[in-house]
């Protein structure tokens, strides 16, 4: 896969405890509890996502501007995936970093960059014949065998993930990616038995442990959609305990699977409400299981892909006071949910970054107030 030519600069380094602490104290006006601590890093409770938006040059320039505004206003956690906007989102991050580092607005050790691999990314635009693309770019070069691919677009084979990681580093002009997720691994369960799925996860985790050793990534994890939100009775269920056992087999007690990503918002409250996980025979919600197992939780789709940005019931404003809009209330809900490290919000426009980062100036809300929204009347 060709990708862009290597840029003039590679952004060396990675997020460090010292760098992220420096960032947390140098941005004026932020609420003292805006940053979470994960692996010794100070990570903003509002992070910038890069999923949505047109795959065109105008949206690209808007993303670069939004990234710079969001980082200037207190978001030091940036999330992407190789397939987002056909690799353009990763390249927007590479360009925004280039501009910010060059202008000395930011140091590499202050910002935490996460990406994902699993889905076939295409390049800049969808090809006329996706199957031909798959053959030419993946199967013939030996990145994966046909039987490794699910739904014609999803693959966890180590050689494929290794190829994707190499492209992501190049797209973002990074030496090291802070966090590398396997993207929606539960997609594989649509087509293969669970035992084989576990073998595939183990092989992918072994590769990611090797990449930690080589300095290409710092941590890895699973970014999911349904997996952790459904219980063991659902064929697409992911057990965090099982996933961690597999990481332990791959990397020993000191393995590097320390993060997971899953959607959580006012309309998708399963992470704190639904007892989808079983730990030592006891059922509990994902956020409780993750806390007990020492895994940091990053939440996606904080605005339910913009649907919560307007029209929320009046009761929400009552329990999440001091904010100007439904978008801000929806973000405040996710970042204030106990156990959430970062609420990711897709922001492809500087004005959205400016409006949403105003929430970073407000203390997180007390959960017993807003979680009362979900209590059944007696
Ligand atoms: N399975 C996975 O791994 C997975 C799945 C989904 C998402 N994610 C990650 O999580 C991130 C967040 O989720 P998401 O982007 O899907 O959905 P989201 O954050 O719930 O919503 C993003 C949408 O809301 C709009 N928006 C942002 N601020 C707004 C405001 N103040 N007023 C009105 N509209 C506003 C954005 O528009 P503009 O872009 O025009 O600013 C964008 O269309 C993603 O970007 C991605 O990084 C991961």
> What's 55's domain CATH number?
3.20.20.100
Is 9 contained in some domain?
A: no
Ligand 1, atom 45, residue with closest C-alpha: 49
Ligand 1: residue of 79, 261, 306 to mutate (most ligand atoms within 8 A of CB) is 306
Minimum CA distance residue for ligand 1 atom 3: 223
CB-count burial class (<10 Å; 0-12, 13-18, 19+) for 298? buried
**Mean per-residue pLDDT over the chain, rounded:** 96
Q: Which two tokens stand for residue 49?
A: 């996502």
pLDDT tens digits, 201-244:
999 999 999 999 999 999 999 999 999 999 999 999 999 999 99
291 assigned to some structural domain = yes
Any domain includes 68:
yes
Cα torsion angle, 300, 304, 305, 311, sign: negative
* CA–CA separation, 367 and 211 (whole Å): 38
More confident residue, 373 or 17: 17
In-domain check, residue 93: yes
Domain with 242 in it: 17-374
Question: Ligand 1: distance of its center to the CA of 132 in Å?
Answer: 31
Report the distance separating Cα 250 and Cα 330, nearest Å: 38
Total length of the chain = 378
Quote the pLDDT of residue 80: 99
**Which pLDDT tens digit goes with each residue over 247-287?**
999 999 999 999 999 999 999 999 999 999 999 999 999 99
pTM: 0.97
The answer to whether residue 1 sits within a structural domain is: no
What's the pLDDT at 282? 97
Q: What's the CA-to-centroid distance between 10 and ligand 1, angstroms?
A: 28
Distance CA 175, CA 178 (A): 10
Total count of domains within the chain: 1
Residue 167 lies in a domain: yes
Distance 326 CA to ligand 1 centre (A): 14
pLDDT confidence of residue 371? 86
130 assigned to some structural domain: yes
What residues line ligand 1, using a CB cutoff of 6 Å?
49-53, 79, 116, 183-184, 223, 225, 261, 300-306, 309, 327, 344-349, 352, 355-356
Q: Is residue 6 over pLDDT 80?
A: no
pLDDT in tens, 152-209: 999 999 999 999 999 999 999 999 999 999 999 999 999 999 999 999 999 999 999 9
pLDDT in tens, 290-318: 999 999 999 999 999 999 999 999 999 99
Residue 154 lies in a domain: yes
> If you measure from the C-alpha of residue 164 to the centroid of ligand 1, how many angstroms do you get, rounded to a whole number?
23
Using CA atoms, how far residue 60 sits from 54, 56, 307, in Å, is: 8, 6, 23
């Amino acid at each position: 896969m060709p990708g862009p030519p290597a840029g003039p600069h590679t952004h060396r380094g990675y997020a460090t405890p010292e760098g992220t602490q420096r960032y947390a104290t140098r941005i004026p006006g932020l609420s003292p509890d805006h940053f979470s601590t994960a692996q010794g890093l100070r990570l903003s409770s509002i992070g910038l996502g890069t999923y949505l938006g047109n795959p065109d040059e105008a949206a690209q320039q808007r993303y670069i501007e939004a990234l710079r505004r969001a980082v200037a206003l207190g978001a030091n956690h940036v999330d992407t995936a190789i397939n987002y906007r056909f690799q353009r989102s990763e390249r927007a991050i590479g360009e925004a970093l280039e501009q910010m580092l060059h202008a000395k607005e930011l140091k590499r050790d202050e910002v935490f960059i996460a990406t994902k691999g699993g889905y076939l990314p295409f390049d800049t635009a969808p090809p006329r014949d996706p199957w031909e693309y798959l053959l030419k770019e993946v199967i013939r070069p030996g990145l994966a065998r046909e039987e490794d691919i699910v739904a014609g677009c999803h693959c966890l084979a180590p050689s494929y993930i290794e190829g994707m990681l190499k492209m992501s580093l190049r797209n973002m002009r990074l030496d090291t990616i802070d966090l590398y997720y396997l993207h929606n691994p539960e997609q594989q369960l649509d087509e293969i038995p669970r035992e084989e799925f576990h073998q595939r996860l183990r092989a992918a985790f072994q590769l990611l442990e090797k990449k930690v050793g080589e300095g290409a990534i710092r941590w890895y994890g699973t970014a999911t959609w349904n997996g952790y939100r459904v219980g063991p009775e659902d064929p697409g269920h992911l057990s965090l305990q099982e996933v961690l056992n597999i990481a332990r087999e791959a990397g020993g007690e000191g393995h590097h699977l320390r993060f997971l990503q899953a959607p959580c918002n006012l309309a998708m409250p399963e992470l704190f409400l639904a007892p989808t996980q079983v730990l030592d025979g006891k059922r509990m919600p994902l956020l409780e299981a993750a806390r007990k197992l020492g895994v940091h939780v990053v939440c996606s789709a904080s605005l339910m892909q913009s649907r919560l940005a307007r029209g929320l019931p009046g009761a929400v404003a009552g329990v999440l006071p001091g904010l100007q809009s439904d978008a801000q209330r929806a973000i405040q809900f996710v970042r204030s949910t106990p156990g959430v490290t970062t609420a990711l919000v897709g922001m492809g426009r500087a004005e959205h970054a400016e409006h949403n980062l105003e929430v970073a100036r407000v203390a997180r809300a007390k959960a017993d107030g807003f979680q009362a929204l979900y209590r059944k009347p007696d």
